[in-house]
Homo-oligomer: A and B are copies of this chain.
Amino acid sequence: MSVAEYEGYAGIDIGGQSIKVGTIRNGELVTRDIETPPDYAVARELMLSAVTELVGGKPKGLGIGTPGPIDWRTGFLQWTPNIPWKNVSYPELGEALGCSVYVDNDANVAGLAEAVLGAGKDYRIVAGFTLGTGIGYFVVMDGLIYHGKLDVEGGHQVLNPEGPLCGCGARGCLEAYASATAIEARTGKEPEDIDDPEFWAEIAGYLAWGITNVTTLVCPEVFVLAGGMIKRGETLFAPLREKLAQMLKIVPPPPVKPAELGHRAGVYGAIVLAKRGHRVE
């Protein structure tokens, strides 16, 4: 993986537990981890000094992946469920550093990294799910994050309008069947503690169904699965491919690949975003 073109760009991947700040220096990713401060004013100072020190001055540009709901047009975060920050204006960080800044939600930013540097790097239209407490969804076209009127939310496609209640208030969303939260609610166990192949074949069926719908509605060239559950490997991927071939007939299924960048996808994606920016609207 060559990241030479991103030399001197900075990325920040913001999470509930930790903030990862990174840049590309001499063709390599260098990062610094910060424990997420509950006070944004403290976080701001730590992030600014980490960027300046890592880059050795002013970055060529800054990209930020943040938990949402975030408006990527304004970069303004009113609130977010897992960090007690309020009314954060991320573009102000760019002003303080004297560089351009682009902001997007963390699932999109990690997806951008997989699309450009990871599992999707040989493809022009890349879609994917991130399997976690929820199900994140991203679409990257020609190396840029796709947004609709509002952010796309493919984890909330409906598999059954009379299905289990989802956190969003609707019934039968993909997320209400196949997220870690849904699995824990149904089985009383965390996904990593479940070994039964039949159980994973059932989850694979829901994911295949979701990928079928992404394929008919968006037709990506490749589909990427990310998140902790992909560690199951072929226990998950083999039945998934089989069920996808059964459910989807109108076009050939896209290849379904595991994400390659792991927990570094967020900071890589923020650096890519720093250079490439958003689609022009």
Contact = CB atoms under 8 A, between A and B. Distances in A.
A216 B156 contact: yes
B254 A149 contact: yes
Interface string A154-184: 1111101100001011110100000000000
Contact of A216 (B154, B171, B221, B243): B154
A216 B153 contact: yes
A166 B216 CA distance: 14
A95 to B, nearest CB: 29
Given A161-B247, A209-B158, A246-B161, A217 B125 contact: no
B148 A219 contact: yes
B218 A152 contact: yes
A281 interface: yes
A237 to B, nearest CB: 18
Contact of A250 (B156, B205, B217, B246): B156
Interface in A212-227: 212-221
Contact of A219 (B152, B214, B254): B152
A41 interface: no
Contact of A137 (B147, B217, B221): B217
A276 interface: no
A152 B252 CA distance: 12
Given A125-B148, A150-B251, A217 B213 contact: yes
A169 B19 CA distance: 48
Given A148-B125, A149-B125, A209-B161, A154 B217 contact: yes
Contact of A249 (B169, B243, B281): B169
A151 interface: yes
Contact of A157 (B142, B216, B281): B216
Contact of A152 (B158, B169, B205, B216): B216
A248 interface: yes
Contact of A247 (B170, B213, B215): B170
A241 interface: no
Interface string A240-263: 000100111111101000000000
B213 A157 contact: yes
12 contacts: A148-B221, A149-B219, A149-B220, A149-B254, A150-B251, A150-B252, A152-B216, A154-B217, A158-B209, A158-B212, A161-B205, A170-B247
Q: Which 3 A-B pairs have the closest CB atoms?
A: A148-B219, A169-B249, A170-B249
